[in-house]
Amino acid sequence: MSDKKRVLILTADAGFGHRSAANAISAALLERHGEQCQGEIVNPLDDDRLPNILRRQQADYDRIVTELPEVYQLGYQLGEIRVTSSIAERALIVVLYETLRDHVRRCQPHAIVNTYPLYQAPLGAVFATTKNYIPLLTIVTDLATVHRLWFHSAIDHCLVPTDAVRDLALKAGISPEKIVITGIPVHPRLAQETRPPAALRAELGWRQELTTVLAVGSRRVKHLDEVLDLLNHSGLPIQLAVVAGGDERLYSQFQATEWHLPTHVYNFVQDLPTLMHAADLIICKAGGLIVTESLACGLPLLLIAVLPGQEVGNAEYVVRGGAGELAQKPVDALQILFHWLDRGGQLLAQRAENARRLGRPNAAYDVAELAWQAAERGPQTRAARSILGRSGLIKFLNRHAVPWQEKRGLGRREL
């Protein structure tokens, strides 16, 4: 086993935001403490032992939120009820205890960083049965409307993006000293890019003198084609950079379009931060990742899609902060853009200034530093903090046939 401090970074692939935050933290840890610290990213939901319904929810995420938004919203709202969330936490302990126990046992981490809300209750149960509490930092990855499952007594640090989420954490019973406002981690390269937009546009083959609109789509962004059709026939002095986000149907449609404006079409890009720094504004959905990255780049947001649940809060945060506007229908997007570009782009410049004020491009470094400090402290042996108590928790695990012990030789020992 390496002498380096080990940080286990837990994530999931329901959407892009959780994995992106994990990657950002890992990159910042490597850059700042690579010689002394080793980060490992793990998605516990990939475990074949888990029920299909839990493993498949990642793959089905896009379909559920686009085809069944009312079902998604109902599930989100039910999870906000205290009694329901308590039942959910106990169910998660039954389902995920063994998987998380095995990851902790294998990695032997000095600290754990969590970017997904389902793991905290099972981790708390693992800590309670072993009496070995590993410093746990949870990163909340939405800006305002946040699921109650994010807030759990097992955490040592609750790292939140905004004052609004800090207030929610306090309301959920998290101690003030545990809460730190860091922003949502974005990849360090967003902060490292310092070249002026004109230079980036020249490198990308874009027109340097035109106001540049970056439009980012995916399977979960409705009406982007309608918005771009209006812009294409608007006669505005702009150029478009259009990213289909891996949606092959949308990409083919954009490739076949007769563009009347200078337009650059991409499918899925690895260097989206470069495109963001080269643009003057972005048209996108209100996802936590794209909103956070845009703000980190000082990029005004013209939001055209909001999924029920956490994205509502993301949109409200952007609009309240003056960093963007929400278009309820495609023609609204055209109207908003006209207003932004009027009078020499005065309103667009104000939106950009507000976006820079809200953005936290160094959030990954701040989180990495807290993770490093936690790893230096390392695990602690102390009395169980489970709401069931240790003996009650063990009875609960035994009742549900959850193995919390392992065989060693002829006897048995606690994990």
Q: Name the residue ranges covered by the structural domains of the chain.
A: 5-186+362-414, 194-358
Which of 50, 46, 42 is closest to 10 using CA atoms? 42
- As a whole number of angstroms, the distance between CA 225 and CA 211 comes to 20
CATH top class, domain 194-358? alpha beta
- As a whole number of angstroms, the distance between CA 267 and CA 245 comes to 6
| Identity of the residue numbered 86 | S
pLDDT of residue 388: 53
Residues 6+ apart with CB under 8 A from 354: 300, 321, 322, 323
pLDDT of residue 57: 61
Residues 6+ apart with CB under 8 A from 261: 231, 232, 236, 238, 239, 240
**How far is the CA of 376 from the CAs of 8, 36, 175, 364, in angstroms?**
14, 10, 22, 18
Residues 6+ apart with CB under 8 A from 194: none
Which of 346, 345, 326 is closest to 336 using CA atoms? 326
- As a whole number of angstroms, the distance between CA 268 and CA 248 comes to 9
pLDDT of residue 348: 98
pLDDT of residue 307: 81
Assigned CATH for 5-186+362-414: 3.40.50.2000
Which of 95, 99, 94, 93 is closest to 54 using CA atoms? 95
- As a whole number of angstroms, the distance between CA 153 and CA 172 comes to 10
pLDDT of residue 375: 96
- As a whole number of angstroms, the distance between CA 241 and CA 264 comes to 5
**How far is the CA of 282 from the CAs of 73, 216, 300, 305, in angstroms?**
26, 7, 6, 13
Adjacency order of strands within the sheet including 179-181:
37-42, 5-10, 111-114, 136-139, 157-160, 179-181
What does pTM read for this prediction? Answer: 0.83
pLDDT of residue 59: 54
Give the strand pairing for 132-133 and 380-381: antiparallel
Residues 6+ apart with CB under 8 A from 114: 9, 10, 120, 123, 136, 137, 138, 139, 155
Q: Is 309 left (phi over 0), alpha (psi -120 to 50) or beta?
A: left
Contact 201, 270 (CB under 8 A): no
Element (H, E) at 71: helix 69-79
6 strand-pairing partners? 38
pLDDT tens, residue order, the chain (415 aa):
568 899 999 999 877 789 999 999 999 999 999 889 999 999 999 888 887 766 666 555 555 445 545 444 444 444 454 544 567 777 888 888 889 999 999 999 999 999 998 899 899 888 988 888 999 999 999 888 787 889 988 899 999 999 999 999 999 999 999 999 999 999 998 888 889 999 999 999 999 999 999 999 887 788 899 999 999 999 999 999 999 988 899 999 999 999 999 999 999 888 888 999 999 999 999 988 899 999 999 999 999 988 877 788 899 999 999 999 999 999 999 999 999 999 999 999 999 999 999 999 999 999 999 999 999 999 987 654 554 566 666 666 766 667 766 544 333 334 4
Contact 360, 184 (CB under 8 A): yes
| Identity of the residue numbered 199 | A
